Structure 1
């Protein structure tokens, strides 16, 4: 009886399993960091609401609706998310320069390059904006529901 064992196939399946496990761990870290990011944006927006109570009261007193107040804070969180996404993409593109140089020197070839496709960059920016907007929803609602008389009395 002849038994055939594919050692290369066995090793490749083991390597594939290890890489899949590492990918799952990295995805878990990214998910946790995105949740923390959204919570921190919510906290920062809430602090901004507390610090600007008098401004909110003045806006409400001169006729701004609750929706207008909410739009002000949603616009701020949109701008923060957009800037964060653009800064992240910019830093990634800058880090690709030394990364590609390192790849070229280690591989000994210049035809292997790391890159960030434009579609993925746009998706990452949109993800940043959406997560920031989600994090700022509760504080913006709290700001829109504040009573103008009480807000004007606070100092």
Structure 2
């Protein structure tokens, strides 16, 4: 400290100092009664928010020279990380949306194929007195079963996948139970799967209901 006070260069870097930079450096090294900066390390984010609230209240109504200028490094990092995570989330949602549309198209194709393969069966049902809505209900019921089964299977596989994922993450980061499946989310996924399956298969089901019984019975 004494060496730095008597020198016009930075004793650590040999950089020439002006009067203001020398004063700042001495304050940083503890050679001034007025500190150049104070670093505060809160225990958690709640304490950090309380400190920021206190500083904001202190600065309120004061002149610019009397205000405490602070930088919330944790908030800055959190903001940057949050923006990055939001971008990743949007990309994943876009991929999920594309997957859902593709799934609906595939379900419609499968149901339509089933209609073509069972044209004669549809004719028999109509000949026995089945109404259009009865035929539609038959295929809608099949798509509901398909949707529920696919949803349950998907949720079950996702639940099983959490175990190896948690093991891998624990070995890498020492964080336990990072990946978990909320039962409510699982139920919602099953419901969404069922609704999308019904929507995808309803149009082919309506097409099946409109088939003429005589033409359907002649189909080989």
Scaled by the length of structure 2, what TM-score is found? Answer: 0.66
Query: 1:43 matched to which residue of 2?
Result: 109
Query: 1:72 matched to which residue of 2?
Result: 138
Distance of 1:115 and 1:6 partners within structure 2: 32
Matches within 5 A, 1:66-145: 66-110=132-176, 112-145=177-210
- Report the alpha carbon displacement of residue 107 of structure 1 after superposing the two structures with TM: 2.4
- Report the alpha carbon displacement of residue 12 of structure 1 after superposing the two structures with TM: 3.0
Query: 1:53 matched to which residue of 2?
Result: 119
- Report the alpha carbon displacement of residue 17 of structure 1 after superposing the two structures with TM: 1.2
User: Which protein has greater RCO, CA pairs closer than 8 Å, 6+ apart?
Assistant: 1
- Report the alpha carbon displacement of residue 13 of structure 1 after superposing the two structures with TM: 2.0
Q: Which runs of 5+ in 2 are unaligned?
A: 1-64
Q: Which runs of 5+ in 1 are unaligned?
A: none
1:154 aligns with 2:219: yes
Larger radius of gyration: 2
Q: CA-atom RMSD, angstroms?
A: 1.6
Deviates more, 1:139-148 or 1:15-24: 15-24
- Report the alpha carbon displacement of residue 45 of structure 1 after superposing the two structures with TM: 0.3
Distance of 2:191 and 2:71 partners within structure 1: 49
* Number of equivalent positions: 154
Deviates more, 1:18-27 or 1:5-14: 5-14
Which of 11, 20, 27 is equivalent to 2:86? 20
